Structure 1
Amino acid sequence: MTLAAPKFLFVPVSSAEGVGEYMRSLIVADEVKQRWPNATIQFILSRQAPYALTCPYPAALLDDTPTKNIKAVNDFMSFFLPDFVIFDASGRRSQLVHANKLGAKVIFLSQHKRKRSRGMKILRARVTDSHWVVQPEFVIGPISWLDRLKLRLIEKPEPTVTGPIFVNPNPKHQAALLSEYGLTVGEFIILNAGSGGHTNSRGFIVEEFALAAASIYQATQIPCVIVYGPNYPNTMIEAEGVTAIQELNHGELIDLLDAAKVAVLSGGDTLLQAIALKKPCLSVAVSKDQNYRLKVCEERGLTVCSDNKAQRISDGLVELMQADNLLKLETALAQCDCVNGLELGMNIITALYRNKFGVH
């Protein structure tokens, strides 16, 4: 632990299904490394997660998600002695307390009302230095007057609404990626069902996206690109007019999303990133916790929703692309104040760094 080489520990929810919390932690970790090149960065992950062995930073692997491994996480913190611990939708109160006792600055990220409420409970809030809400306020709503009063009484700040956190498009990298796949800006459709591991009664939902992509190309003659995701275990489907990609890193996915004409996405973090990028999209809930978010976004005219059947996805996207419908969606997106929260989050970390090390 030195001023020039702070130690950061990232503890995202990690499992065999979702990938959003891990990806968000990676984005913040990469930004930390840019800001403090000598920083030591460490992750704690479930070994059940498909990305556990490909994490670009050292990772301590547990038998289950870190939240359920209280002692193992606490023991590792005692060994590692971090300056900062970032819990992304994870962490028992005792784990946050332990991090605080070790002198670490504790950051907690929540993405749903339930997690946000948990993060504001007095005994947790007392040991949390910064609480980020990674949903736009129009989705999650304001905190109650009672929560505001409780936080004021214990002299803790209200959660900071960062909104979605992602890497901004990189024009140079984007041009190279488009060249690699033979694509042109604004002349292709991108489809992504999140991690690729979510299922319905018929199998993997991303396979419905793949069938929809083939139908969309036949109906529109616009090339489609489908990104299956790291958790999809089967052979990718081949179809005319459809480019199938197993996996992209976050920056590459954002570059393609930014360059696409329209998108078909799950209701996870990528949807909010698309809204921040002002990209018209049709969205599909691939897990129960996405339904409310999609309902709110659709009510505000920021997306069009579909169920997870291939034909409904295809029909919905073709209808969305009709000139009047597309203009309506683009107008609502242009007026939405949802933006990339990465810079705000990094400003908070920098302020905590200065406070911890007495830098002004």
Structure 2
Amino acid sequence: MAESPDSVLFVPVSGPGGSGEYYRCLAIARALRAHRPGLVIHFLVNRHARLERDARFHYHELNDSPTRDRLAAREYIEQLRPALVLFDSAGRMMHFRAARAVGARVAWLSDRPNKRRKAFRWRMLPLLDLHLMAAPGEAAPRLSFLHRFKQRCFPGLKTVFFSGIAPPADASRRQALCDALGLPDSDYLLFAPGGGGYERGGRPVPEIMLEAAAISATETGLPAIMLMGPQYKGAVESHETVRVVKSLPTEDLSQLLGGARLAVIGAGSMMTTQTLSLGVPAVLVPAGGDDQPPRINDFSRRGLVSAAPMEAGPMAEAAIALARDADRRAAQQAAVRDAGIRNDVELVAAGLLELLSAEC
């Protein structure tokens, strides 16, 4: 049997380059704890990833992402014996079977097509209780005919589409944070790559974005803040024009996004949906993994965002143009609303709490 009906294990992808899956799971974990304060929450994380850690949760370190450090991940599942395991884009069949063997309910979160297809493999289907599928920018997402057929063969499997996962914005918290950072409480430019661990042409991505932020602030006269990212390994700590911050907790990032005239952000899934679900006009740039250029092309084609390459000049030009064009910003916000992009952290938390209640 599982450890207790009040124990949840999160198994997200994590690494030195990017950690969007981890921060998505962190937002979900905090929402779960808000509803069930006594819930015991564990994370499996890559020891080499620089991650924000919540002191209320328990962290267990691996030498690599769970999918690669597979034996250690399985051992933790067997030792912790959680009531529920959420795998976010990580894990192998041995992990899902180990979770089943200790009596845990199993949830899988997919944020791209290949991850969704993985959950609908015949050998995977009987191991899952809940499949959470990211569908940002899809107003009425549906399963394919084949996936609907497969799901009917496993009536115990529930599928849920969600748009974005992000901590909620809070105006009073934003005011206090902006005061602490020396920013006005609204109408500034925010630049953030996401994790910040990638390079382009031998330069750290955050430093390229910082150059763009300086140009944008000078040309528009607006204050600018640059969040370098928790994975940034460079030495830049300050700038004469731009307020530089190494990183912020995800909850604080939501507060800053809520007051920005616009945000120039890396096009990772977590960062993109967090920004758009808060109604912030955005310029998307390819700051990380291979999933980012297709997302940029799709979202910019549909008028949800502006797009720019990872070059300081063009990035600044896109930010300046958007900052000066109120009609374009309003059009982006309207397109985002029409596409159904929203913060679904409560929806996802409710689905997981339902699994825990069923376990009880």
Fold match by TM threshold 0.5: yes
Classify the secondary structure of the residue corresponding to 1:262.
strand
Q: Distance in 2 between matches of 1:243 and 1:266?
A: 18
Q: CA deviation at 1:159?
A: 3.1
Higher relative contact order (CA 8 A, sep 6+): 2
- Match for residue 353 of structure 1? 356
State how many pairs are aligned.
356
Q: Distance in 2 between matches of 1:55 and 1:239?
A: 29
Q: CA deviation at 1:333?
A: 3.0
- Match for residue 51 of structure 1? 51
- Asked whether the 8 Å contact 2:11–2:85 carries over to 1, the reply is yes
Q: Distance in 2 between matches of 1:137 and 1:95?
A: 31
User: Structure 2: 5+ residue runs without aligned partners?
Assistant: none
**CA deviation string 1:41-99 (max 9, x = no partner):** 111111121228x4532222111111122222222222111101111110112211220
- Asked whether the 8 Å contact 1:139–1:293 carries over to 2, the reply is no
- Asked whether the 8 Å contact 1:100–1:106 carries over to 2, the reply is yes
Identity %: 26
Q: Distance in 2 between matches of 1:218 and 1:118?
A: 48
- Asked whether the 8 Å contact 1:11–1:87 carries over to 2, the reply is yes
With the length of structure 1 as denominator, give the TM-score of the two structures: 0.93
Q: Distance in 2 between matches of 1:49 and 1:13?
A: 10
Q: Distance in 2 between matches of 1:331 and 1:67?
A: 39
Residues 1:309 and 2:314 aligned together: no
Question: Which letter does structure 2 place at the counterpart of 1:285?
Answer: P
Q: CA deviation at 1:327?
A: 3.4
Q: Aligned in 2, Cα 1:334/1:28: closer, same or farther, shift over 3 Å?
A: closer
Residues 1:279 and 2:286 aligned together: no
- Match for residue 211 of structure 2? 211
Classify the secondary structure of the residue corresponding to 1:302.
coil
With the length of structure 2 as denominator, give the TM-score of the two structures: 0.93
- Asked whether the 8 Å contact 1:5–1:40 carries over to 2, the reply is no
- Asked whether the 8 Å contact 2:139–2:341 carries over to 1, the reply is no
Residues 1:135 and 2:174 aligned together: no
**CA deviation string 1:236-279 (max 9, x = no partner):** 26433310000100000010001111110110111112211111
Classify the secondary structure of the residue corresponding to 2:116.
helix
Q: How does 1:35-184 map to 2 (within 5 A)?
A: 35-51=35-51, 54=53, 56=55, 57-136=57-136, 138=138, 142-157=142-157, 159-184=159-184
**CA deviation string 1:161-202 (max 9, x = no partner):** 112111101222111101112222332100000111011113
Question: Which letter does structure 2 place at the counterpart of 1:270?
Answer: M
Q: CA deviation at 1:137?
A: 5.6
Q: Distance in 1 between matches of 2:37 and 2:166?
A: 20
- Asked whether the 8 Å contact 1:227–1:246 carries over to 2, the reply is yes
Classify the secondary structure of the residue corresponding to 1:275.
helix
Q: Distance in 2 between matches of 1:235 and 1:306?
A: 25
Q: How does 1:203-352 map to 2 (within 5 A)?
A: 203-236=203-236, 238-268=238-268, 269-286=270-287, 287-323=289-325, 324-352=327-355
**CA deviation string 1:139-175 (max 9, x = no partner):** 9964321121111123254631112111101222111
Moved more, 258-267 or 21-30: 21-30
Q: Distance in 2 between matches of 1:3 and 1:123?
A: 26
User: Structure 1: 5+ residue runs without aligned partners?
Assistant: none
Q: Distance in 1 between matches of 2:173 and 2:185?
A: 13
- Match for residue 31 of structure 2? 31
**CA deviation string 1:262-316 (max 9, x = no partner):** 1101101111122111111111012321111111111211101000000010011
Q: Aligned in 2, Cα 1:141/1:353: closer, same or farther, shift over 3 Å?
A: closer
Question: Which letter does structure 2 place at the counterpart of 1:353?
Answer: L
Moved more, 64-73 or 83-92: 64-73
Question: Which letter does structure 1 place at the counterpart of 2:340?
Answer: D
RMSD (CA atoms): 2.1
